[in-house]
Amino acid sequence: MQQGIQIIPLIAVVLLVVVTIGLGFWVQKSVKSAADMYVASRSVSVPMNSAAISGEYLSAASFMGVAGMIMKTGYDNIWYPVGYATGYLFLLLFIAGPLRRFGAYTIPDFAHGRYDSPTFRKIAVIFVLCIGFFYTMPQMKGAGTALVNILNTPYWVGIVVVGSVIIFNVALGGMKGITFVQAVQYWIKMVAISLPMFIMFMFLGGYGTNMSKFHNDAEKGGTLPKFRTDYTAIYKPAAPLNDIVFGTVIRGTFEQDTQVIITPSKKLPEGADQISAQQLMTSSLPAETREVTLPTGKKVTAYIFKKGTEFATGQPIVATQGGQPILVTDPVSGKEKPLKVSAKFTVTPAGSEEVTRITYKAGQPVPNAPNDKTWIEPYGLLSSKYGHPVLYTYSLILAIVCGTAGLPHILVRFYTNPDGKTAKRTTFWVMILLGCFYVFPPMFGALGRAWVPELYAVAGGARSTDSVVLILPRLLNQYVPYLGDILSAITSMGAFAGFMTTFSGLLVSLTGALAHDVYGNMINPKATPTQKMRAFRISAILAGSTAIVLGMFVENFDINMMVGWAFAIGAASYFPMLIVSAWWRRCTAIGAGAGMLVGGGAALAAIVSTMLADKKVIPSLGPWFADHPVVRTLFEQPAIWAVPFSLLLIYVVSLATQSHVPKNSRWKMLVLHAPEELNLKNRNYIEDDAVPAH
Amino acid sequence: MSISQREVLGKIGKAVEMEKKLDLHSEEYLHKLMTSQFALSFKLFLVFIIILLGLPVMNYIAPEMMNARIFGFTVTWFFLAVLIYPITWLISWAYVKSSIALEEKAATWTDPEEH
């Protein structure tokens, strides 16, 4: 157990913060104009810009979250990094070139310019701010919890540190300053994920060697990972962190008096024969019991295990109905098989302790871990949770791919390219940089399963699969003193760079929306360059402080859930609007606006409804979803219907409002698609004032 | 490209320019430009979408083949976690190359004297 301040990671993080501030000062000297601040004077070279875009895009979720998810439930989660990387291909094929050529600075600029509609600009601004703030919250939470892990500081310290450093950098150097910082941080992250992995390969065996330890044949496919040393797991008394699913016979010892609710690991169908707690156990149950009322109002019996009691769960048993085995259809193979359940504990300290501690001996199977076959093969725990794995997989792919193409902080970077051609070349290099990075998180997932399986024992928090990237390298301390600590410090630095760059990118796009769209276009259209620069700095401080405050409130939110919201809204709003606007001349502002608002709104409403059901805000919703697994799947991953729905809406509404097609739409399409050689120029939305002509 | 050039054509849809560059501003030119670019994008989009969306189908209909072991991995793991990235690089390289070539060609479709 790691307690207290860890000196080596602390040094790494301090170093990173100091370097980031130093770079900010250094670049600041060359920031002379509003065009520098807003779009880095549109003169960022291809290598610099592709590293900056990649640096900005690789958030902490990519750095830590993806590896953790892959370790936790296996194959299905590889779709996340693949979707994150290939979303760029869609951007490249349909959006990057035209968008840059149009010359607009922000998406609201594009919405306004493409349709000559100031109202559309206002709607688009609201969306930029919404998606942007949604996406800053998980970054803030990540920063807060990472510092808790490394330094044991209070949650708010991490948020304030990351927040202020980035606000400082953005306010000082604007887009130009942040471009350089992000490019440097891409390389920090790339080194931070690859170097420790290569060194671990030398000690722990290669990628393929470790993968070959997991079996998917009929005989050994059911193997569960086993504790490599004695391990004491800490369970916080909050659902679902205090749920423990035991797949087979597992022995453990309670370190305090503990109240345990024992239920079957899967929900039994209506009318099934009751399964008693004793049937799920090998050891005998304690005599002392207590009646507990669940949040749903149901009363259940909890067993009080005394301190030091050893327990042993049982083999999976077949659920029955009227004495006959209950058969379920496997959603992938289509074969019928008996429904098997094992023990699930819900643990709470019976005394005054704050957490439940359970010690497992070396060699015991790890609870909460999927077996080898489920983990390594497609259609595992993630996609099969509602019984429609193929549908779930497709919707997940679509959400990530279209969501990437609809993130405002990524799109805004395309305007820093000198022209449409370099925008295309930049995207190509971004794909290479991202691809090289995303090969690594699955390696952490695989080596994590093989070498630190104890992380499965608790479903979330500091010592769970979520932190595999930080914890796995420490294993090397056994081979070379301090090597593990140094490598872990390097990965901590990478994770921290993840929060900083993504937050800085979001802050630039939020600031751009406030300073350029709200101030520069709505409040004071005649602003002088000096006023514009000041507006940018004030907006950066305003937006950044708001993000810090929002970050304080989300300590108990799930990071992946918040990221999912941002992606789903992006996928169903911006993506359809942009692609149709770039390629369909007869599209109208009303059509595009309606598709964006209603499509994005519907996707958001669907996701929020699943959250309300899960958090039991609307108690009747949960059981209803349980009875309608298809609806549940479609609501949790709405992209598969929300994106086509939004596109259809744009099409139908545009056809109905053909009299509103912009009069010069042919010119606009020409500007979007004609090669630069023809010198067609739309107006530049950020004037190149104060920059000497070159 | 100088700054002044960028600003010259600022005012959208000037009648004078429309007449002067009739060729460039003709319906035919725009149509040819957009369809050729879109055809290229769509072709490569199809290639990729078949690979991307075909993999879950293969996983579903041929699980034995996809879950066979290769270098310690399963076929499908090796494909999705490693091989897919070079494939996207190839597609985007092909796109950038042909798309820029297409742009250069498109510039010659109009009379260069006129602009």
Looking at residue A156, its pLDDT comes to: 84
Distance between CA atoms of residues A326 and A114, nearest Å: 60
* A402: confidence class by pLDDT, cuts 50, 70, 90: confident
pLDDT of residue B5 exceeding 60: no
Q: Which residues have a Cβ under 8 Å from the Cβ of A362 and sit 6 or more positions away?
A: A226, A227, A228, A229, A230, A231
Looking at residue A647, its pLDDT comes to: 94
Looking at residue A339, its pLDDT comes to: 86
A89/B92 touch (CB, cutoff 8 Å), yes or no: yes
pLDDT of residue A406 exceeding 90: no
Distance between CA atoms of residues A224 and A146, nearest Å: 29
Looking at residue A236, its pLDDT comes to: 86
| Of A521, A653, A684, residue with least CA distance to A121 | A521
Cβ-Cβ contacts under 8 Å, B77 against chain A? 75, 78, 211, 376, 442
Looking at residue A683, its pLDDT comes to: 54
pLDDT of residue A363 exceeding 80: yes
Looking at residue A620, its pLDDT comes to: 79
Of A211, A425, A679, the CB nearest to B96: A425
- Which residue of chain A is at minimal alpha-carbon distance from B3? A693
Q: What average pLDDT does range A424-437 have in this prediction?
A: 90
pLDDT of residue A680 exceeding 60: yes
Count Cα atoms within 13 angstroms, Cβ side, for A351. 10
pLDDT of residue A436 exceeding 90: yes
Looking at residue B6, its pLDDT comes to: 47
The predicted-structure confidence for A594-613, as pLDDT tens digits, reads as follows 998 899 889 888 888 887 88
Could you list the beta-strand ranges (E) of A153-198.
none
Q: What average pLDDT does range A7-23 have in this prediction?
A: 83
What 3-state class would DSSP assign to A306? coil
pLDDT of residue B16 exceeding 50: no
Instruction: Record the tokens describing residue A181, joined without a space.
Output: 């910082």
Question: SS3 sequence, B10-60?
Answer: CCCCCHHHHHHCCCCCCHHHHHHHHHHHHHHHHHHHHHHHHHHHHHHHHHH
Domain map (residue ranges) of chain A: 7-204+381-555, 231-368
Question: Percentage of chain A with pLDDT > 90?
Answer: 18
Tokens 């293969």 — which residue? B58
Looking at residue A689, its pLDDT comes to: 42
Cβ-Cβ contacts under 8 Å, A78 against chain B? 77, 80-81
Asked if CATH classification 1.20.1730.10 holds for the domain at A7-204+381-555, the reply, yes or no, is: yes
Tokens 């709470």 — which residue? A348
| Of A569, A561, A570, A563, residue with least CA distance to A613 | A561
- Which residues, in sequence order, are bridge partners of residue A337? A328
The predicted-structure confidence for A133-152, as pLDDT tens digits, reads as follows 888 888 888 778 777 766 77
Of B60, B91, B110, the CB nearest to A89: B91
DSSP element (H, E) containing A426: helix A420-438
B19 inside domain: yes
Looking at residue A189, its pLDDT comes to: 92
The predicted-structure confidence for A251-262, as pLDDT tens digits, reads as follows 999 999 999 999
Instruction: Record the tokens describing residue A571, joined without a space.
Output: 């996928």
Distance between CA atoms of residues A304 and A289, nearest Å: 6
Q: Which residues of A438-464 are buried (b: 16+ CB within 10 A; e: fewer)?
A: bbbbbbbbbbbbbbbbbbbbbbebbbb
Of A78, A86, A94, the CB nearest to B41: A94
CA distance B65 to chain A (A): 12
Question: Percentage of chain A with pLDDT > 70?
Answer: 94
pLDDT of residue A694 exceeding 60: no
Mutate to test the interface with B, among A39, A76, A210, A211 (most CBs of B within 10 A): A211
B80/A390 touch (CB, cutoff 8 Å), yes or no: no
Instruction: Please tell me which residue, A199 or A16, carries the higher pLDDT value.
Output: A199
CA distance A595 to chain B (A): 22
Show the domain range for B42: 13-114
Looking at residue A40, its pLDDT comes to: 67
pLDDT of residue A400 exceeding 70: yes
From edge to edge, which strands make up the β-sheet containing A299-305? Answer: A243-245, A343-349, A258-264, A299-305, A289-293
pLDDT of residue A437 exceeding 90: yes
Distance between CA atoms of residues A201 and A485, nearest Å: 16
The predicted-structure confidence for A479-534, as pLDDT tens digits, reads as follows 888 888 889 888 888 888 888 888 888 888 888 888 888 888 788 888 787 888 88
Instruction: Record the tokens describing residue A674, joined without a space.
Output: 């004609």
What 3-state class would DSSP assign to B115? coil
The predicted-structure confidence for A55-66, as pLDDT tens digits, reads as follows 888 887 778 888
Q: What average pLDDT does range A33-37 have in this prediction?
A: 70
pLDDT of residue A1 exceeding 60: no
Looking at residue A681, its pLDDT comes to: 60
pLDDT of residue A243 exceeding 70: yes
pLDDT of residue A675 exceeding 60: yes
Q: What's the total number of domains in chain B?
A: 1
Task: Give the range with max mean pLDDT: A220-234, A399-413, A432-446.
Answer: A432-446
pLDDT of residue A412 exceeding 50: yes
Looking at residue B13, its pLDDT comes to: 42
Q: What average pLDDT does range A439-453 have in this prediction?
A: 93
* B12: confidence class by pLDDT, cuts 50, 70, 90: very low
B108 inside domain: yes
- Would you say the C-alpha torsion A38, A44, A47, A50 has a positive or negative sign? positive
Instruction: Record the tokens describing residue A120, joined without a space.
Output: 């559309």
Of B4, B60, B100, the CB nearest to A390: B60
Tokens 């050893």 — which residue? A310
- Which residue of chain B is at minimal alpha-carbon distance from A103? B6
CA angle, B53 then B57 then B58, to 5°: 110
pLDDT of residue A165 exceeding 50: yes
B2 inside domain: no
pLDDT of residue A74 exceeding 50: yes
In this complex, how many residue pairs, one in chain A and one in chain B, have their CB atoms less than 8 Å apart?
173
A693/B4 touch (CB, cutoff 8 Å), yes or no: yes
Count Cβ atoms within 10 A of the Cβ of residue A370 and give its class: 0-12 exposed, 13-18 middle, 19 or more buried: buried
CA distance A302 to chain B (A): 42
Lowest mean pLDDT, pick from A106-115, A261-270, A414-423: A414-423
| Of A169, A166, A167, A174, residue with least CA distance to A542 | A167
CA distance B28 to chain A (A): 11
pLDDT of residue A300 exceeding 70: yes
Instruction: Please tell me which residue, A618 or A185, carries the higher pLDDT value.
Output: A185
* A685: confidence class by pLDDT, cuts 50, 70, 90: low
pLDDT of residue B7 exceeding 80: no
- Which residue of chain A is at minimal alpha-carbon distance from B34? A673
pLDDT of residue A475 exceeding 60: yes
Instruction: Please tell me which residue, A410 or A39, carries the higher pLDDT value.
Output: A410
pLDDT of residue B22 exceeding 60: no
Question: SS3 sequence, B48-95?
Answer: HHHHHHHHHHHHHHCHHHHCCEECCEEHHHHHHHHHHHHHHHHHHHHH
Distance between CA atoms of residues A350 and A343, nearest Å: 20
Distance between CA atoms of residues B21 and A692, nearest Å: 31
CA distance B37 to chain A (A): 8
Cβ-Cβ contacts under 8 Å, B32 against chain A? none
B48/A86 touch (CB, cutoff 8 Å), yes or no: yes
Instruction: Please tell me which residue, A627 or A474, carries the higher pLDDT value.
Output: A474
Count Cβ atoms within 10 A of the Cβ of residue A381 and give its class: 0-12 exposed, 13-18 middle, 19 or more buried: middle
The predicted-structure confidence for A85-102, as pLDDT tens digits, reads as follows 888 888 888 888 788 778
Of A82, A436, A583, the CB nearest to B80: A82
B84/A86 touch (CB, cutoff 8 Å), yes or no: yes
Long-range CB pairs of A175-178 (<8 Å, 24+ gap) are A175/A36, A175/A37, A175/A38, A175/A39, A175/A40, A175/A416, A175/A508, A175/A512, A176/A27, A176/A30, A176/A31, A176/A36, A176/A37, A176/A40, A176/A41, A177/A23, A177/A24, A177/A27, A177/A28, A177/A31, A178/A52, A178/A504, A178/A505, A178/A508
Tokens 């630190």 — which residue? A452
Distance between CA atoms of residues A46 and B98, nearest Å: 18
The predicted-structure confidence for A327-340, as pLDDT tens digits, reads as follows 888 777 778 888 88
Query: How many Å is the maximal CA-CA distance in chain B?
Result: 69
Q: How far is CA A622 from the centre of its chain?
A: 24
Tokens 């090669």 — which residue? A675
Residue A412 DSSP class: G
Q: What average pLDDT does range A412-435 have in this prediction?
A: 83
Mutate to test the interface with A, among B31, B59, B87 (most CBs of A within 10 A): B59
Q: What average pLDDT does range A42-52 have in this prediction?
A: 82
* A688: confidence class by pLDDT, cuts 50, 70, 90: very low
The predicted-structure confidence for B50-101, as pLDDT tens digits, reads as follows 998 899 998 888 888 888 888 989 999 999 999 999 999 999 999 989 988 8
pLDDT of residue A20 exceeding 90: no
Instruction: Record the tokens describing residue B74, joined without a space.
Output: 């399963």
Looking at residue A508, its pLDDT comes to: 85
Residue B64 CB neighbour total at 10 angstroms: 7
CA distance B62 to chain A (A): 10
CA distance B6 to chain A (A): 6
- Which residues, in sequence order, are bridge partners of residue A349? A258
Whole-number mean pLDDT of chain A?
84
Looking at residue A452, its pLDDT comes to: 92
* A4: confidence class by pLDDT, cuts 50, 70, 90: very low
Looking at residue A679, its pLDDT comes to: 64
Looking at residue B17, its pLDDT comes to: 43
What 3-state class would DSSP assign to A300? strand
* B1: confidence class by pLDDT, cuts 50, 70, 90: very low
Of A401, A431, A438, the CB nearest to B92: A431
B83 inside domain: yes
* B24: confidence class by pLDDT, cuts 50, 70, 90: low
